[in-house]
């Protein structure tokens, strides 16, 4: 008599669940507890009060009372909350709220640090957030460039080079024409041209995309340094003194307490960055073009079989990303400093790339990540002003340390588009 299929197969082995979640819970839980101990030991000895200003002078119609915090009770309360969050994380975790809790923990730590640093002084929180948004603006624009490129399947490591060249050309043209708007347009086109060159190398000649991007970065550093010495240094007044595109307020909205001065009294670069976040989100996820871009970034062979020209879509996405990066580069000279200097972007293009990864290849996520890096940059500046007993070199490292932690995967492993970095060769 034949055996039944069940008898032939035998007992089904038990499948053990992957230990990834429990390991992450333990790691985060221990980290929170260590952070609580650090806050208690390093900041708990402070005395007096810290005052946090919630108004910019003359910026709003309604005056919001300042927030005064007693240093020692405030630090003890933060340490206690961190310890409780760490204990819950160890015992059962937070599931889908893990990264929300991580954000809360980071905010509590920063609050404790500022409370300790500002004892006996006043720190204007609105000013810090306004500075953070300004510093996040070029990072947002660079990250949007990376999102468009990598969603189409092309890795753009050349954002730093696009920033640097656009900053140089923007200052040069803005100074020569005495019109910073023309300089902004020239910087944007420069970024687009660098994007076009990257697209040709990556798509037509199928050069390794990371190597191509690094080469463009090094070339940008060399050529801008050479032209700076030869053209801008001897003619500083005529070729390196563009006017800064200053801030202008949106009537009515700029007077809203706290939020108004941060969002609605900024320069044109901030407004362009916010607008482009919205436009790129709609374009990528609500239009036929965006569907095609994501298709060629995930499965170019399937996209080709339904009649989509893969390489043409990639060319357009990379060049469009280059135009956006050009705006970010022009910010450094036309929206911030008012002159060009060698290597003035200081690796911000790579931080923008990290913001794109941190934001999981999403325009809104990239903007949120850029805000994190921008706040880290603003924080090191305010800590230097408050004369905290931390060496200035360590303070200057803050945004880069945050970048390393993000790239190292402290917030979890992110999955890039499946065809990212892979040239498409039609069979």
Domain residue ranges of the chain, discontinuous segments joined by +: 20-120, 126-407
Least confidently predicted of 66-80, 252-266, 269-283, 284-298 = 252-266
- Looking at residue 362, what is its pLDDT? 95
Query: CA-CA distance, 169 to 155, in Å (whole number)?
Result: 24
CATH 1.20.120 corresponds to the domain 126-407:
no
What's residue 60's pLDDT?
63
d(CA 220, CA 198): 13
Q: Read off the pLDDT band of 251 (50, 70, 90).
A: confident
Spatial contact of 212 and 202, defined as CB atoms under 8 Å apart: yes
Query: For residue 9, what pLDDT band results from cuts at 50, 70 and 90?
Result: very low
Please say if the pLDDT value at position 308 is more than 90: yes
Nearest to 192 by CA among 219, 214, 162, 215: 162
Average pLDDT over residues 415-422: 91
- Residue of 397 and 283 predicted with greater confidence: 283
Percent of residues, the chain, with pLDDT higher than 90: 66
DSSP code, position 287: S
Instruction: Give the rounded distance of the alpha carbon of 383 from its chain centre.
Output: 21
Pairwise pLDDT comparison (376 vs 289), residue with the higher score: 289
Give the pLDDT confidence of 210-224 residue by residue, as tens digits. Answer: 999 999 999 999 999
Is pLDDT larger for residue 27 or for residue 170?
Answer: 170
Closest CA to 142 of 304, 424, 349, 342: 349
Q: Tokens for 68, please give them.
A: 């005064």
How many other CB atoms are found less than 10 A from the CB of residue 225? 15
User: Region 64-86: what's the mean pLDDT?
Assistant: 93
Mean pLDDT computed over 8-29? 60
Do you know the residue count of the chain? Answer: 427
Residue pair 244/180 in contact (Cβ under 8 Å)? The answer is yes
Of 2-16, 184-198, 222-236, 284-298, the poorest mean pLDDT is in 2-16
Helix, strand, coil: what percent of the chain each, to 5?
70, 5, 30
Q: What integer pLDDT is reported at residue 4 of this predicted model?
A: 46
Rg (CA), the chain: 25
Q: Which of 195, 207, 200, 205 is nearest to 156 (CA)?
A: 195
Q: Can you give the pLDDT at residue 242? A: 95
Residue 173 has pLDDT above 50, yes or no: yes
111 close to 128: Cβ distance less than 8 angstroms: no
Phi and psi, residue 249, nearest 5°: -90, 150
């Amino acid at each position: 008599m034949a055996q039944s299929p069940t008898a032939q197969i035998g007992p089904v082995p038990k499948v053990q669940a992957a230990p990834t979640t429990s390991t992450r819970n333990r790691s985060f839980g221990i980290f929170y507890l260590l952070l609580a101990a650090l806050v208690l030991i390093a900041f708990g000895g402070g005395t007096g009060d810290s005052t946090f200003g919630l108004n910019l002078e003359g910026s709003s119609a309604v005056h919001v009372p300042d927030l005064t915090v007693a240093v020692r009770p405030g630090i003890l309360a933060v340490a206690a909350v961190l310890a409780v969050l760490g204990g819950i994380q160890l015992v059962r975790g937070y599931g889908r709220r893990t990264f929300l809790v991580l954000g809360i923990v980071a905010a509590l730590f920063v609050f404790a640090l500022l409370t300790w640093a500002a004892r006996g002084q006043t720190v204007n929180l609105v000013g810090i957030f306004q500075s953070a948004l300004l510093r996040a603006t070029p990072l947002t624009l660079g990250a949007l460039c990376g999102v468009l490129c990598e969603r189409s399947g092309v890795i753009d490591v050349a954002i730093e080079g696009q920033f640097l060249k656009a900053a140089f050309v923007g200052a040069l043209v803005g100074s020569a024409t005495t019109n910073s708007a023309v300089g902004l347009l020239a910087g944007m086109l420069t970024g687009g041209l660098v994007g076009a060159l990257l697209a040709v190398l990556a798509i037509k000649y199928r050069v390794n995309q990371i190597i191509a991007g690094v080469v463009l970065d090094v070339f940008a550093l060399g050529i801008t340094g050479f032209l700076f010495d030869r053209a801008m240094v001897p003619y500083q007044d005529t070729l390196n003194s563009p006017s800064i595109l200053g801030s202008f307020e949106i009537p009515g909205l700029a007077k809203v307490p706290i939020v108004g001065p941060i969002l609605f009294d900024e320069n044109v670069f901030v407004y362009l960055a916010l607008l482009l976040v919205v436009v790129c989100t709609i374009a990528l996820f609500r239009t036929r073009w965006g569907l095609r871009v994501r298709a060629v970034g995930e499965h170019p062979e399937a996209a080709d079989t339904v009649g989509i020209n893969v390489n043409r879509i990639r060319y357009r996405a990379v060049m469009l990303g280059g135009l956006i990066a050009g705006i970010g580069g022009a910010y450094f000279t036309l929206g911030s400093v008012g002159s060009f200097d060698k290597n003035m972007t200081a690796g911000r293009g790579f931080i923008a790339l990290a913001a794109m990864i941190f934001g999981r290849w999403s325009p809104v996520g990239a903007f949120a990540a850029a805000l994190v890096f921008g706040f880290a940059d603003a924080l090191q500046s305010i800590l230097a002003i408050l004369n905290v007993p931390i060496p200035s070199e360590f303070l200057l490292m803050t945004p880069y340390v945050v970048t390393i932690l993000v790239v190292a995967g402290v917030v979890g492993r992110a999955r890039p588009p499946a065809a990212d970095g892979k040239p498409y060769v039609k069979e």
